[in-house]
Each structure stands twice: as C-alpha cells, then as structure tokens.
Structure 1
Amino acid sequence: MTKIALITGATAGIGEACAHTFAREGYNLILTGRRMDRLETLAQQLNKQYNIEVAVSSFDVRSREQVIQSLEGLPAQWKKVDVLINNAGLSQGLDPIQKGSYDDWDTMIDTNIKGLLYVSRVVSNWMITNGYGHIINLGSIAGKEVYANGNVYCATKHAVDALNKGMRIDLNSHGIKVTAVHPGAVETEFSEVRFKGDKERAKKVYEGFEPLAAQDIAETIWFVASRPAHVNINELTVMPTAQATATNIFRKNT
C-alpha cells in the first residue's frame, strides 16, 4: 500500500523540497501552507512528474480551529499518515530582548511552538489508531545554542527540541517514531522573512560561504524516514562545512 506523508509549510524552502523528495520515493502527499495558489501549483507539478496523489489544505498553523477543522475534515483514507513533517516555522526580527517586538514574539511562539503542537495533537492520534507513524520535527541550531539578538527565536527552537524528546517518550509505547532535524544555515526564504522582505540584508547572511540548500535537508529527512522499522534516529544536527556554530562561519574574502 502506498505510504502517505503530511508536510506543513510546503509552499517553499525545506517543505517544498521535502514534497519533491517524498513524491520521488512514491509517497502520496498531504501538503499544507498558507498560500493556496502555491499549494495547487505544486500539487499539479508533483502529480504530473511522479504520478502520485496529492491532497492540499490551506490553513495557518497558528489557528487551532483552522488546524483541527482542516485536518479532521480530510477523508478517512488520508488519515493513514505514515510520516508527519512538522516543517512550518519562521523567525521574525533580530533585536535585543529590550527592543523586541511583541508582535514578532507572538508570531514566532504561535507558529513554531503552538502550531507544531496543534498539528501533532491531531496527527499523533491518527497514528495511535493506525498503529504506526513517524513524526519528524524541524528544529534548528538555534535550538541547541543561543546567539545575540536571537532570544525568542532561540527559545522557540529550544522548545521544539524539548517537545521532540517529550513526544519520543509519550509515543514510545505506541510504536511511533519521533525525530528532530536541526539545520544550521540554509539558504531559503528564512532570512528574507526574518528581515521583513529586505532581500539585500537577507542575501548578506549567506555571503562568503556555501550554505546548505533546502534539498540537503530534505534528503536528510528522507534518510531518517527510510530507516528500518526497528531504527529511530532521535535527532540530527546538520551544518554547512563552513559553519562551526550558530555564529562561527568561515567566510572567504571577508
């Protein structure tokens, strides 16, 4: 029977790369995100290229009501989810704590922590009923370290790290795998979103070295998901070769 992967934040970056990777491997997909036009375009592309089935559902993970209504509204056959990739997440601003934006804080906490919880609450119960499943949480090097002006973003990713460990314990008796993948610098829309659309400032983040690409992380996630049933990879931290810590990056000609 064809397996199913549910990917949040599938409209760009790592989520979109995961959609291509899992489609390539023959999975049917449930793709979620806030931009329905992108979801529909991606679904058509994947269906044509890989001959797989794709269901799309547009909602904001910050809204508990939208998450529950959208996911529980899926037909029964789509609730046989084998892999949940909790990819939806973002950073807003890069300010010291005393100058931080309340709105930025709320957006990061509601998306990175509460959104992950809302989706996981629904899908983990499907997996318990089905008797199988694998939840893969997208963390960050910011969940392993703290850096200047990263305060609240780092706090949310530390929370993801803790939740990943908690899920692993709570779902262990149900035979459900749980993994966290913690990327370092990946060149996606991440910095552009953090800097509110300032493309020049975002571009400078990746100058002088070769960052990870979204596909690098997607391939790592596929590796994790494709291990034998008796093997669970609890967590992986993945960095560009040029990056030693969150803030220690060797840049050429700088």
Structure 2
Amino acid sequence: MERFDLKDKIVLVAGASSGIGAATVERLLAEGARVIAAARRMDRLQALAKDRPGHCLPLQLDVADPDSTSSMVERMPEGWRNIHGAVVCAGHDVGGRARFDQADAETWANIIETNVNGTIRVCRAVIDRMTARGTGHIVTLGSVSGLITYPGGSIYSASKHAVRAFTDGLRKDYGDSDIRVTEILPGLTRTEFAESRWGDGSKAEAFYDKAPGLLEPEDIASAILYAMTAPESVNVSQIVVHPTRV
C-alpha cells in the first residue's frame, strides 16, 4: 500500500507561529505540500513563509475569535481554498498549573474558548469543502492530559478531554466518506507553552529541565506526518506520544 502523497496538497496549520505548529509547517513543506501557516503573530508567520512564494501562505488567525475563523477561507486567495488537510495546533494553558480557586472563572473559560471552541471553529470553517469532495484530513492536537487528570490541571484536562471526545465523534460523523480524522496526544513537549502559561521564561525552563524526559516539537510533527501520509484507506485515529523516560 502506498503512502498518501501530500505533494501540492493544501494543508492549513492553525497555531503555526511556534512549537509543534511551526515544526509541522516545516515537515509539510518538506513533503511538497502547500501550507497555509495561520496564527496571531504575523511576523513569525512571515518569517516561516519567507522565500517560499506559492508554497507557504501566512494568514492571521485568532481561533478564539468567531469572526476571524468564520472569515478565514474568504481571506485566502482563491487558489488556496481547496484545503485538503487541517492541523489544529492552537491552544494554551494561561493561568494553568494552579489549583482551581487560584484563578478567576474568566481565566479558566478562556482556556476552554481557545482549546475547545477554537478547534471546533477551525474544523467547521474547512469541513464543507472536504465534504463536497468526499475526501480530506483533519488533525487535532489533544494531549495526554485528555486521558488523565492531575492537580492544577482541572481546566486544561477538561479542555483536552473535550477535544478527544470531539475528535472521535467527528471521525464517526464522516465514517461513510474518505474524510480522515486524527487526534495526536503528546506528552510533555518543550515549546513556548509553559512560558505562555506563567509569563516567566526562567520558570518555564526550570519546569522542563527537571522533567525526566521531554519530547521536541519535531517529534510531534513526525507523528502528524505519519498519520497524514498513511495509505488513503487507513485512518490513524489516535496517536499517543510519550517521551521514553516519563
């Protein structure tokens, strides 16, 4: 059975400005895909797209903003709208790793807004064209926190449990078509995630440095590519990735 060929396929990566999203953009481009790199930080996206005209399109996107996501496809040039794949990496845990009473309700609600509602919005924005073709691939970024809970992670875990249920239900919704749906569930990965959580780079580095094992963004990008290049008759529905030392 042949690998699915991503050459010249258009793939949207939401949350492409850093970490797993940026690593995924690089891997997709290496596969010959045409990549829409979407996130809030246009300077970073433009750096990714530099010297790649026709291959990488920077697109400003805030997944927590309904207007930004609903207008996403309309804001793309016509030649970029036939989206084969969507990889939803956008998410945060700002205020997390704290006991429930140590942040206000709005802080917790913002995590749900981005991680859950943002994922839903991006998927809804791209699904109609996939449905019309009868083919496509959606990849969501879950977390091992969607399989377990831990002190200080009640809301983040809740968001990732929701992503897991949404992704599994989405796969079943399109089980009578060639639309594939995959969830990637990384373990602890060294990105800017911890710094954005606390707003403190040194605290984030200390957090990662004391971990017995860590993944790198490229490890998760490799898992995403594995799922997306599986033979067309194969739906890799879920990949859980842990560092060897946990």
TM-score, L = length of structure 2: 0.93
Tell whether the 8 Å contact from 2:72 to 2:125 is kept in structure 1 after alignment. no
Equivalence for 1:71: 73
Aligned equivalents of 1:35 and 1:64: distance in 2? 17
Aligned equivalents of 2:185 and 2:87: distance in 1? 13
Instruction: Return the match for 1:9 from 9, 12, 15.
Output: 15
1:31 aligned counterpart, secondary structure:
strand
Deviations 1:45-89 (A, max 9, x none): 5x1xxx752222102110111111122332333122121101111
Tell whether the 8 Å contact from 2:20 to 2:217 is kept in structure 1 after alignment. yes
Aligned equivalents of 1:78 and 1:170: distance in 2? 26
2:64 aligned counterpart, secondary structure:
coil
Aligned equivalents of 2:118 and 2:183: distance in 1? 16
Equivalence for 1:251: none
Equivalence for 1:149: 152
Tell whether the 8 Å contact from 2:14 to 2:61 is kept in structure 1 after alignment. no
1:233 aligned counterpart, secondary structure:
coil
Equivalence for 2:33: 27
Tell me: higher relative CO, structure 1 or 2? Use CA pairs within 8 A at least 6 residues apart: 2
Instruction: Return the match for 1:225 from 223, 228, 235.
Output: 228
2:183 aligned counterpart, secondary structure:
strand
Aligned equivalents of 1:59 and 1:170: distance in 2? 26
Equivalence for 2:3: none
| Cα RMSD after superposing both structures | 1.4
Tell whether the 8 Å contact from 1:18 to 1:215 is kept in structure 2 after alignment. yes
Instruction: Return the match for 1:106 from 103, 109, 120.
Output: 109
Deviations 1:120-168 (A, max 9, x none): 0010111111221010100001101000010001000000000011100
Q: Which amino acid aligns with 2:64?
A: R
Structure 2 unmatched runs, 5+: 1-6
Aligned equivalents of 1:12 and 1:103: distance in 2? 25
Query: What is the identity percentage for the equivalent residue pairs of Structure 1 and Structure 2?
Result: 34
Number of residue equivalences = 238
Equivalence for 2:4: none
Structure 1 unmatched runs, 5+: 244-254
2:135 aligned counterpart, secondary structure:
coil
